Structure 1
């Protein structure tokens, strides 16, 4: 595919091409134009035929395109008599980010076959007459990726690839790699080699500290080759998670943007630089991640066997401070940031906000909370069909009365839940440097039956752990904070979230506090000041359920998600493990 960089070729008028007896261009400006066009089309054969020495031109031009690629623009700047000049631009490197622009001169000469370009490699590119050209890049001092406190989070480090040939001593390799990579055995290595069908395989990539004690013995084994490389790695090898991948991508972009480059001619008297730019210093990337909290979140999820995730933000700034997943979630992707699930009763934060704004109730309005209710053709039960009778809304929220919330939602406008969700960031998507996220979806509930299902976070409502953490942060702050993974580089919303009316967040936060002190999250009431909301979200044929917990702990807002948990209890327990570890 030709690059969109190309613009229509501008050449001088071509005259007399149809004259009888002429096998080539009939005018000097004609041959200049056709030569420029052939070079721009990367047509080596056509360009060479237009020169006075086709045999000499072909290998030089082929070598040039191999070295520089084919993203070029060639135009005739001027032509006077037999003399002409060419303006040339090459786009070099990844994405064509480096431009090499120059002007050359050439000479047209008449021959029995018409006008030809006198072959001179310098007419095509400066320095090409002294030898083949090569394109190279050079990186300066690598940037560091820093944590929220300014400590080193990720640095460029040397790693070593342990490559195995088909005849490698797999038993010997496995014995040496055991302490650093317990999952590697002679059998697993034999299986990999067999699947490679005669090709070399990389058994493992080791950090410097891991390979140092065994390097000499490994390299002495049959069929083993050690290949050192540089990679961006976490300083603490135990840290993992989707944000680190995003930070690594930003780091690579910064490195590429500041890299130097040059064109070098391989001249007979030695290499000679023709053009280029020296590398610039790459700025360190200051992330918002807090390693202690991130480690606590990872440790809190470790005992859970089904996919589980925690996302935590600072409501005052939108700083994303932890995004953790367990191994089961890692196997499925970045579930913490983009996995969409029914949010269950954690969505009652949105339903309560919508009801308060609509004037349908206040926190003290006494409402019925029967064990089950038939509402708009659907039977809505409470968990284990508990029946509270008539209670204030704040109690119904804290005890997670499905029947109360569903009855409230029936009378709301079709877009009430959609609008209330957007006020809390749910359904708003952000372009955030270093993060790929989806918050969720809350479609308009056109029928009362749809509003019943949506009110308890079921039906067509979906949310990601990131989205529900943003909801908690918006409630804590009173408005949606712009999420950020890099300090000073907040995310940009796809639309501006509407404002949350004054007082609504206060009321919902008060109900979330009661959820912890006297509701469904009393397992966490030993944590002073904690606010929260539990959620159990059925899915599929409603025989299985995910577990949720969203919380606010001072200037910390978070969401915990546990797939196939059956209830909210595993999510509540994980939240407790994380919070107690950092208090």
Structure 2
């Protein structure tokens, strides 16, 4: 903190009239003498630089009011640093003083806001105090008002588009229906009332579901459901009428076609949000009771580009219909066999509850036996490691797929593989990459490629390298897959001419897998629970019947 003062001899007061002006003589700083006006103002400024609202408020004539306003502004501005310079401090012989404050608020990315305010001080029995007015913080700040720094987003917001260019996902106003157990005298009664209120549009959000959410976060507010604006019109009563319930307006990236849902939503939302974050602006506003927020400073650049994806909306609907064919967790992924483009991914409600997605690895059991047999044979014949062959087939590497990845702290990538001769764990994306590699080799394209979702944005491959494919390895695998489809476990499937498939489980409790090449597409199905191998075939049959 810096203080600019003009020193004057103490004797000046003795010869001055009652209206004489005397320059303040304190030099300021946190340890400044608060027996004069300069000391009090400097102590106030030093506390503000420390963002200590209570410490600053005690140097005012109204610590309670000042503390509340300073706290609200400091929190709402959320500055990394505050520099406050005292300017032109002048003390009058009638026990008052005047001063100015030059305040610079600083945030990351070299964002700053500078303002100059003025105030007065009075000498009271407790010493010099700043006469409290909100305008001490900023000129014109009203009683009950505050300054705030907010994020701004360019308009229009980017859209997520399908492979045909149609809108797949877009930003829409939504309503978070929040239940705060601390704001109701009877939580159980509020839970029952809220479930009844939202039943017309969200029948699956039952009393039990809401109660489970509350149990997972004891004493914390929970979001029971998020509804679009048209959904709110369907409700027969207002959720806010339920004790403890608040409705918070927000914006959310949602599916344009409400019939669609996909595990890809999380990854696409993350990618879309990264664009929004990169193009976000900022604004300092003055707000107060009964007044429209007033922009004081800020900057906003142009909107970011739309997200152009490889998703086929019609196929996505088909995948969704196939996934609900069985009453146990089932997830289905489709890729373009020639390019590795992800065409869609769907899962049923059981898989949603289990959190099954493209990121997680699962045991493949017997599914890859024909593949592992050929990998070992080729490795022995060529005197190379089986790991390098697995890598080239897309099984031994780790993918980070923009638009599909949902990184977490314990699993930063899309897929990890732990390959051992007696078993393997694979993600659905790894299985899809294998299918694409095999399909490409059957087309004479003897290189493997990484799956991708966002057009023009490459997938990161770690833990190994994709590369040249060896027909001596892939041809026997393809022949084995043809046998599985013609006379093996997948032979009962109909409506899939030219199908090549791998089918397997990891024991009676699963999981079960289906990997199919057909019609220029690679289909990966993952199921869990009893008879999961049969369930995977049921999902596959539904897909081939309605595709």
Quickly say closer, same or farther: Cα 1:268–1:235, change in 2 above 3 A: closer
Stretch deviating more after TM superposition (271-280 or 222-231): 222-231
How many Å separate the matches in 2 of 1:169 and 1:545?
A: 37
By how many angstroms is 1:141 displaced? Answer: 2.7
- Superposed CA deviations along residues 24-80 of structure 1, whole A, max 9, x for unmatched, are 49xxx99999987754432345566899999997566434303212x4224699999
Structure-1 residue corresponding to 2:76: 67
Residues in 2 aligned to 1:57 and 1:519: alpha-carbon distance in whole angstroms: 80
Aligned partner of residue 354 in structure 2, secondary structure: coil
Tell whether the 8 Å contact from 1:421 to 1:442 is kept in structure 2 after alignment. Answer: no
- CA apart distance, 1:172: 11
C-alpha contact 2:177 2:226 (8 A) present in aligned 1? yes
1:497 CA displacement: 0.9
Assess if the C-alpha contact under 8 Å between 2:240 and 2:246 holds in 1. Answer: no
Provide the C-alpha distance between the structure 2 equivalents of 1:576 and 1:354, rounded to a whole number of angstroms: 32
Residues 258-299 of structure 1 deviation map (CA, whole Å, 9 limit, x = unaligned): 444322235999764321124643432222222222222232
Q: Distance in 2 between matches of 1:516 and 1:190?
A: 45
The residue aligned with 2:11 is none
Equivalent residue for 1:249?
270
Is 1:579 equivalent to 2:547 in the alignment? no
Within 1, Cα distance between the matches of 2:487 and 2:138? 79
- Provide closer, same or farther for how the CA distance between residues 466 and 89 of structure 1 changes in structure 2, counting only shifts above 3 A: same
1:330 partnered with 2:352:
yes
2:459 to 474, 484, 491: 491
Return the match for 1:142 from 145, 157, 176. Answer: 157
Aligned-partner Cα distance in 2 for 1:62–1:332: 43
Following the alignment from structure 1 to structure 2, what is the Cα–Cα distance between the partners of residues 480 and 126? Answer: 65
Match of 1:154?
A: 169
Matched, 1:475 2:487: no
The question of whether the paired residues in 2 share the 8 Å contact of 1:193 and 1:200 is answered with no
SS at match of 1:337: coil
C-alpha distance in 2, partners of 1:559/1:495? 22
* Structure 2 unmatched ranges of 5 or more: 5-25, 91-98, 407-412, 441-445
Q: How many residues align?
A: 488
Match of 1:561 in 2: 526
Given that 1:353 and 1:508 are in contact with CA atoms closer than 8 Å, whether structure 2 keeps it comes out as no
**Residues 173 and 218 in structure 1, CA contact (< 8 A), matched pair in contact too:** no
Q: Cα deviations across residues 394-421 of structure 1 (Å, max 9, x unaligned)?
A: xxxxxxxxxxxxxxxxxx87xx332222
Deviates more, 1:517-526 or 1:123-132: 123-132
Q: Is 239-248 or 487-496 further displaced after alignment?
A: 487-496
Structure 2 length as normaliser, TM-score?
0.69
Paired position in structure 1 for 2:19:
none
TM-score, scaled relative to structure 1 = 0.65
Supply the distance in 2 between the matched residues of 1:119 and 1:218 (Cα, whole angstroms): 46
Q: Please identify, of 495-504 and 290-299, the stretch whose mean Cα deviation from structure 2 is larger.
A: 495-504
- Residue 336 (structure 2) aligns with: 314
The root-mean-square deviation of aligned C-alpha atoms, in Å, is: 5.3
Q: Check whether the contact 1:427–1:439 (CA below 8 A) recurs between aligned residues.
A: no
Q: For structure 1, list consecutive stretches of 5 or more residues without a partner in the other structure.
A: 1-8, 361-411, 446-450
* Cα distance in 2 between the residues matched to 1:308 and 1:471: 20
**Distance in 1, Cα, partners of 2:365 & 2:85:** 64
Q: Distance in 2 between matches of 1:219 and 1:117?
A: 48
Specify whether residues 156 and 103 from structure 1 end up closer, same or farther in structure 2 by C-alpha distance, changes over 3 A only.
closer
- Matched residues in 2 for 1:53 and 1:145: separation? 53
Distance 1:557 1:59 in 2: 62
Q: Give 1:338 shift.
A: 1.0
Give the Cα separation in 1 of the matches to 2:290 and 2:201.
49
Q: CA-to-partner distance for each residue in 1:148-171, whole Å, 9 max, x for gaps?
A: 222222233344566787677968
Aligned to 1:431: 400
1:198 Cα deviation from its structure 2 partner = 12
Q: Deviations over 1:299-350 (max 9, x none)?
A: 2232323322222222433322222222222111134431422342325324
Question: Which of 90, 98, 111 is equivalent to 2:106?
Answer: 90
1:536 aligned residue (505, 521, 524): 505
Residues 334 and 343, structure 2, Cα contact 8 Å, conserved in 1: yes
Matched, 1:441 2:456: no
Q: Which whole-Å CA distance do the structure 1 matches of 2:479 and 2:323 have between them?
A: 28
**C-alpha deviations, 1:492-547, integer Å up to 9, x for none?**
12245142344343453344334323444323475233222222323xxxx54432
Pairing 1:126-137 to 2, within 5 Å after superposition: 132-137=146-151
Which range is displaced more, 97-106 or 480-489? 97-106
C-alpha separation in 2, matches of 1:11 and 1:61: 21
User: Deviations for 1:3-31, whole angstroms, at most 9, x for unmatched residues?
Assistant: xxxxxx9999xxxx9xxxx8649xxx999
The Cα shift of 1:207 comes to: 4.3
Over 3 Å counting, the alpha-carbon distance change for 1:59 and 1:560 in structure 2 is closer
